[in-house]
Amino acid sequence: MMLDINKIREDFTFLRSGRIYLDSTATSLTPEPVLKKVLEYYREYRANVGRGIYNTAQTATSAYENARAEVAKLINAKPEEIIFVRNTTEATNLVANGLKFQEGEKIVTTILEHHSNYIVWLRVKNTKKLELSVVQSDREGHLSPSDFAAHIDRRTKLVAVTHTSNVLGVRPPIKEIVKLAHEQGSLVLVDGAQSVPHTKVDVKELGCDFLAFSGHKMCGPTGVGALYIKEDLQASVEPLCIGGGSIDDVGIDYYRLRGGPNKYEAGTPPIAEAIGMGAAATYLMNIGMDNIEDHERKLTRRMLQGLANIEGISLYGPKDAEKRAGIISFNLKGMNPHDVAVALDTTSGVMVRSGHHCALPLHKHVLNAPNGSVRASVYLYNNYDDVDVFLDTLAEISKTLM
């Protein structure tokens, strides 16, 4: 099925100004139906959740729990397996601090990772005296199962790997990695920040133990994200914070935590934001994740073709649109990536990201681009015109300023 892009674009009021937004990897835009749900909570049934007995408090609690179910459905999990957190970063920190690591155990991660799924492991490595093993990729960012097989062993407690690189758009083979890890008795955390918003993710099919993602990258509000923890693991993962809302019983010298997601959601949660994230999940499911992925692939193909014809471009990652998501990083010869981004914005209102995109190890050690890169990324609301204006302007920058 084709997406009705014009209709979708109407939902995103941000686009009415004519600006061209190619930075959805950093954060996505928010459609009206999501905003409406968020405001509805504030306007019509604002109350704390899981506490009051009065009717409105029950309404708020149901809306909050319904949002959990909507988010669960998006990744084919059970609602009890979804924990609302602030963002992907808080989710990885929760796992890093909540797993009971023993001295000498090993964590395996990769050179592709975002700092949020990298420095957290460096920290626990130091505090808990663990070993951290970093799987290297080739120049294009490809990782094969055999690369992991060499690192995962009986001592490996956790494998933390991205589902989609936020720089190169490549997708490591998660299913195979999970199989290798489980054979050795290790757990797998998948950083889904860039996959859940853009493609169909099914935790049952992937088999992973944890999946972290952010609401703000999937058309939801800022300030909320989700961590999937496989149900039977929840007893062995400690919460990051404890307090009101997360206990069954408290005495003068003891407390007993609740089971289920509430254990991890101490204090008043971001209620409106969670409701918004649920609405965003439903918004995406209504459009269809496969349709979104197809649409992005078409735009990516156009972008890659266009970039191939511009002089002086170093493109990072695979040249083939089938092998990557709609995230494209590059440099123009001799130009600072920030200058390229400012020129695109000032002359054509094209917004792209520049810098190291929170992936310094990748830029330094794989891409050999210590100054970072320019990154253009697409989402369901982008169209061919957006890509063309970006390419035309970039071609002109290359021709006149490089």
Partner 1 sequence: MKTLYDYYRLFPHTDCGYCGSTSCLTMLRRYCLGKSDLNSCIYFKSGELPSPKISYSPPHLKEPPTEKISYIRPCPSEPTKVTIEVNVLPQTHSPYGYFDMITADSIFDRQIPNLKISPSLGIVRIESEAGDVMVFSEGKVIIRRGADEKRAFWEISRAVRLLWATVNRKIRAESAH
Ligand X SMILES: Cc1ncc(COP(=O)(O)O)c(C=O)c1O
Return the exposure string of 29-39: e unless at least 16 CB atoms fall within 10 Å of the residue's CB, then b.
bbbeebeebbe
Rounded to the nearest 10 degrees, what angle do helices 88-98 and 119-128 cross at?
Answer: 20
When asked if residue 331 is in the footprint of ligand X (CB under 6 A), the reply is: no
Q: How far is the CB of 362 from partner 1 (least distance, A)?
A: 14
- Annotated active-site residue 358? The verdict is yes
Among the candidate windows 24-32, 94-102, 104-112, 394-402, which touches partner 1 by CB under 8 A? 394-402
Q: How far is the CB of 18 from partner 1 (least distance, A)?
A: 3
**Other Cβ atoms closer than 10 A to 26:** 15
Binder among 131, 147, 293, 388 for partner 1 (CB under 8 A):
388
Residue recorded with tokens 């949020």: 116
**Can you tell me which residue has the tokens 């039977």?**
232
Residue 89 sits in the site that holds ligand X (CB under 6 A): yes
* Residues, the chain: 402
Q: Minimum CB separation from ligand X for residue 92, in Å?
A: 7
Q: Which amino acid is at 307?
A: L
Query: Minimal distance in Å, beta carbon 339 to partner 1?
Result: 6
Task: CB nearer to ligand X: give 114 or 128.
Answer: 114
Site string for ligand X, 343-362 (x = CB under 6 A): ---------------x----
Q: Which is nearer to partner 1, 218 or 350 (CB)?
A: 350
400 binds, among partner 1, ligand X, none (CB under 5 to 8 A by kind): partner 1
The angle subtended at Cα 61 by Cα 59 and Cα 64, nearest 5°, is 110
Element (H, E) at 71: helix 55-74
Could you tell me where the beta strands, DSSP code E, fall in 45-137? 82-85, 106-110, 131-135
Assess 191 for contact with ligand X (CB under 6 A).
Answer: yes
Binding partner at 339 among ligand X, partner 1, none, C-beta below 5 to 8 Å by kind: partner 1
| Structure tokens that stand for 159 in this block | 């494998």
Taking Cα atoms as reference points, which of 363, 307, 353, 383 lies closest to residue 27?
353
Residue whose entry in the numeric block shows the structure tokens 């035309």:
392
**What is the spatial distance between Cα 90 and Cα 227, in angstroms, rounded to a whole number?**
9
- 166 is a contact residue toward ligand X (CB under 6 A): yes
Among 55, 56, 236, 347, interactor with partner 1 by CB under 8 A: 347
Give the count of residues interacting with ligand X (CB under 6 A). Answer: 14
Q: Give the one residue of 342, 365, 368, 384 binding partner 1; rule: CB under 8 A.
A: 342
CB of 337 to ligand X, least distance (A): 16
| Identity of residue 382 | N
Does 126 bind partner 1 (CB under 8 A)? Our answer is: no
Q: Measured between alpha carbons, how far is 193 from 162 in angstroms, rounded to an integer? A: 8
| Nearer to partner 1 (CB atom), residue 261 or residue 337 | 337
Alpha helices in 99-232 (DSSP H): 119-128, 145-149, 174-183, 203-206
H/E element, 235: none
Number of residues that bind partner 1 (CB under 8 A): 27
Return the number of the residue (114 or 157) whose C-beta is nearest partner 1: 114
46-75 positions binding ligand X, by CB under 6 A:
none
Q: Which does 356 bind (CB under 5 to 8 A by kind): partner 1, ligand X, none?
A: partner 1
Q: Helix axis angle, 271-287 relative to 32-44, nearest 10°?
A: 150
Kindly give the interhelix angle for 55-74 and 271-287, rounded to the nearest 10 degrees: 40
Q: Given phi > 0 = left and psi -120 to 50 = alpha, else beta, which region is 211?
A: beta
Among the residue ranges 34-42, 154-162, 288-296, 368-376, the one whose residues contact partner 1 (CB under 8 A): 368-376
Does residue 116 touch ligand X according to CB under 6 A?
A: yes
Say which DSSP state 37 is in.
Answer: H
- Contact between 28 and ligand X by CB under 6 A: the answer reads no
Q: How far is the CB of 170 from ligand X (least distance, A)?
A: 11
Active-site amino acid positions: 358
- Provide the binding-site residues for ligand X, judged by CB under 6 A: 87-89, 114, 116-117, 162, 166, 191, 193-194, 214, 225, 358
Residues that bind partner 1 (CB under 8 A): 17-18, 336, 338-339, 342-343, 346-349, 355-356, 370-372, 385, 388-389, 392-393, 396-397, 399-402
